[in-house]
Structures are given as C-alpha cells and as structure tokens.
Structure 1
Amino acid sequence: MSRIAVFGAGSWGTAFSIVLADAGNEVTIWGRREAVCADINDHHENRDYLPDVKLPDTVSATHDPVVAVDGADAVIFAVPSQSFRENLVDWAPVLPEVPLVSLMKGVELGSLKRMSEVIAEVTGAGEERIAVVSGPNLSKEIANREPAASVVACADEDVAKRLQAMCHATAFRPYTSVDVLGCELGGAYKNVVALAVGMAVGLGFGDNTTASVITRGLAETARLATRLGADPLTLMGLAGLGDLVATCSSPLSRNRTFGEKLGQGQTTEEIYASTRQVAEGAKSCASLLALAEKNDVDAPIAEHVDAVVAGRSTARDMMQAFIDRDTKAERD
C-alpha cells in the first residue's frame, strides 16, 4: 500500500482520491476548509462537492499540509489553476522528494505557463518528478465508479508507469505517455471549446452546430499544441479527443454548463455568483488566447469565447462570427 497526498478537496480531488483508494492506496486529502475535512473524516462523505458518495475508509482529510504529506509516496494537486501558484508557494517547503502530479487543466494568466511548468518553477523539481493526469474524467461518474480511462504523462516513462500502477483501479484504466505538453494543452483547451459548445446549446442550436464547434476546436487545439512541440497523436487520444468529447457533450461538465448559461443571456458575474464550482475555461481562455497569439497561431474559438466571457461580445455574435469567417481549405 502506498501513501498518497491529494491537495484539493473539491469534486475532482475527491473523486480521484476514490480511484487511488480503490487501487489499494492510503489517501490523505488536504482541504482548504476545515468543515469539509471534518465531513470527510467523520462521515466518509464530501457533501459539499459529491453528495451521496461514500468514501473508502482509507481516505482521510486534513487542513494541515505537513500532516497531508507525512510519509507520502506521491503528491497530487487538484486545485483551481489560477490560484495554484499562490497555494504551491505555501506548500513547497514541506513537499517530499516524490513524484508531483497535476490534475489541473489550465494555463496561468500572466506567465502563460502550464501547471507542470508552475510546479517546476516553484518547487525546483526536475521534469522526471513532474507528471499530469488527463482524460475524459467527469468527477461524478468517476466517483460513482463508472468505467473510464485516462493518461498519466511524465517525461520519465518509468515514473509514469509507477503512477499508472498507483491509480489502476477496477473501474479506472490509466495509459502512459511522455508527452506532458500535449496532454496539458489538450486538457486546458477543451474547456474553452466546451464553453463555445455550451453557448451554442444555450442558444438552442443542435447537433450539427455542436459537432462543427467540437471538430474545429480540436483543430485549433492541435495547431497550438503542435506548434509548441506536442505529438499530434496525443490530441487524437484520451487527453485530446476523448476529453474534448466528454467535456463538450455532458451536462455534468462545468464548462459546458457555464457556456449554456452564457448562451441563455446570463453574465459571467451572475454565473460565478450562483456556484462554488470553478469552470476552468472561463479563467483560462484569456491565457490560452495570449499563448496562441504569442506563437502566431490562429485561435478564433479562444478569441471569441474570451470576448463573451469578458462581456465584450455575446454568444450569438460569436456564432455568427464563426459563420462569417473567410472560407479556406479544411486543413489550413
């Protein structure tokens, strides 16, 4: 049995803790709010984020990062990407020399760094200790132990295989990859595409429209990822197409739901006020657009989603702008 620390007591951190426990590990969740930690310890539930889901007995929680990492064989991070650096600066002094794994799907505003790059910069860890997990993994379905697959990516294939073994559970099948960049960009960009798809749904459009947005979103993701050095086949796999399809198609997706509300006429501020759940795409669309512009990559979906999220445009204007763009060959 390995001991694993999971920093983040939200829905994804909690769901992945269930996976780790089902794979035979002892899991300690670090939670920001002591009330959530108490709920996990006293009732084996996280009723704020995953109500009616019973947690394994080998999952516990603490608000103390020192306690969370005591004896840990791996450390998992599952907090909102835009607040990650601030949190990691506080945690870094107590982190052990073990693999550091990001479950987060975003690009940092300002620095335009991926989460693995933030880990390296703040902790000084080498790429052989930094990994990401990404794929079509909606939290509620994972917590309910519905069959799913994902990708564990690390520059060191042996580390990826060790982590793969740690999270290979009865209903969760992980694959390995060495393409950390491709997995991270696929995971971050699909949230932006899901916002656009949600807006189309909110406007009342059907499957032809959403399929078109998903497909062009995949092309946009691949343009940026391959420009930065990703393996294009990664974008055809679980961390690319798989994650994109799940996030754009499911009403369980926070990003698609956020987009639907924008399409129905709500403002970003109104949506934020109505939920404690974080839609990473709404936070990362500006940074992904900036990253694309910095690398001279055409990114119309990121551009228009950012404009709607920022209140400079409407969802209907966005959809019309997509139709009005200059025609071209599909592979251009």
Structure 2
Amino acid sequence: MTQVVPTQLPADWRDFYALTKPRVMTLVIFTGLCGLLAAPGSINPVIGFTAILCIALGAGGAAALNQWWEADLDAGMKRTSARPLPMGRMLREDARNFGFLLAGFSVMTMGLAVNWLAAAILALSIVYYAVIYTIWLKPRTPQNIVIGGGAGAFPPMIGWLAVTGDVTAMPILLFAIIFFWTPPHFWALALFVQSDYAKVGIPMMPVVRGAKSTRRQILAYCVLLVPIAAAPWMIGGTGPIYGITAVALSLAFLALSIPVAFREAVEGDRMAPEKRLFGFSIVYLFALFGALVVDRVLAHNGVFA
C-alpha cells in the first residue's frame, strides 16, 4: 500500500477546506436546511443559521477525521489520490486536530445556541461516520455503505429537531429516505470504479459479492425507496406537491436502476447506466427535499387550505 509522506511545509487554507469534502457538504447543508424549513413551527433566523452552520461544521469535522484515518488508503486510489494528505501537503496530525476542533465546536455550539437534543444527534452523526463507518464497517464488511448510510441521513433530522426539539414520525422518515437512497447512489459509483476499491482492499459490495449481486441489490433498494419517499405524504405530513414529486422522482430513479441491474458494467464507459444512475441520484435528493420545502411554504400560505 502506498504510504503517505507528509510535508513539513505549512498547509494552505484550501487544503483544510478540501478536508471538509465540500461537494458532500453541499448536500449535507441542503438537506439539513430543508429539514429545518419544512419543520412545523418557527425559529429565529439567527438561531436557524447557527443550526445549519453547526451541521456544516460537524460534517466537515467528520470528513476530516475520515481522511486522517484513511490517508494511506486514499493514496492508493485514483479517485482520492489528489487529496491533501495523500499528496503530502499537510501533516496527518493537523488533519486530525482540525477534525476534532470542528466536531467539538459544532456540537457545543448547537447545544448552547439551539437545543441539546439536536446537539446529541449531531454528535451521534459525527461518531457514526468517523468511527462506526470509517474505522469499523468500511474495512470489514460489504454492508459498510448500507449500515454506514445512517451517517449521511442525520442532517434533515437535525434541522427538524432544531425547530421542534422533538422526534416524531416525519424526521424519522426523512432519515429513512436518505438511508435507503444511499446504497443505490454509492454502489452505482462503486460499480464504475470498483478496481480502485479492490486495489486497496476495501470490501465494497462489487468487489466482494460481484457486480451482478450489487446491481440486483441496487434495483431492490430503488423499489423500496418508492413507498418510503412517498410515506411523508401518505401519513399526512406533507401536501400533494411533495407527494406527486416524490412518486415521480422515485419511479424515475427505479426506471434508471433497471438497465443497471441487467447489464454488464464496462468500467470507464462514461455512458454507462451506472454513471447516469449516480448522476440522477444527486438530482433526486436535491429535487425531493426541495419539493418538501416548497410544499411546506405553500401549505403555510394557505394554498392547500
């Protein structure tokens, strides 16, 4: 395995920013904000901004700890080899300390400024990703991304709890949507770059169980996602804007998963169904949670009254 040789030069601010995985953080911030905006009740804008900032910092801290722990693995994978630690642009200890600083600050600020239940769930999400997923699950089981998907499913729940301070069916369903969305989203990418994971010995589903089994499981999760995504509407937690959007998007997601399930993947083929499914999966989550907020705003203004 490639060893990371740290530099003694001071790291650039852009290297610390890269440790937070900005692209992933965008989705985390968006779903957290949607959870906050869709929640019943109101929240002071300053407190609301603080809650979203804490979600972002917590996610960034977890990402930094993930890269600190996996620096040698990242160095061996083409997809991650240009990150700050594999490139030797900063010390591993600096990445670790930066991660702990962001994580600790985010949880304490959330507790003091918002509420301690939201802070507790934020702390759980950080531990889930940095310890349960990164250290325990990822190197040991092909179910790593299934169980570990909970880490990315917490933000909308935290945003909701920042407003209500209470766990009800709706935040649990928002958690479940992302939890069941994660395997087809990530396995579509894993199918496309499975040789990267095989090279560094990470037991991703395509590597351990094979591409055929992975494709069929992607289809199964997409089937399950249809009723789960529609559930907030079915229990009366949202209006028709969200409900119709959820059903349409989930059926489109399912339709895109069918050619993935029944086609031999060709690694590096940029027109592969896996590539299209992965791209749509990102659009799916943004559009679904965006519809949740639009539905809430229209309901608040009496459109569905």
| More strand, by proportion | 1
Common fold: TM-score over 0.5: no
What range is the shorter-chain TM-score in?
Answer: under 0.3
TM-score computed with the length of structure 1 as normaliser: 0.26
Higher relative contact order, structure no. (Cα contacts within 8 Å, ≥ 6 residues apart): 2
| More helix, by proportion | 2
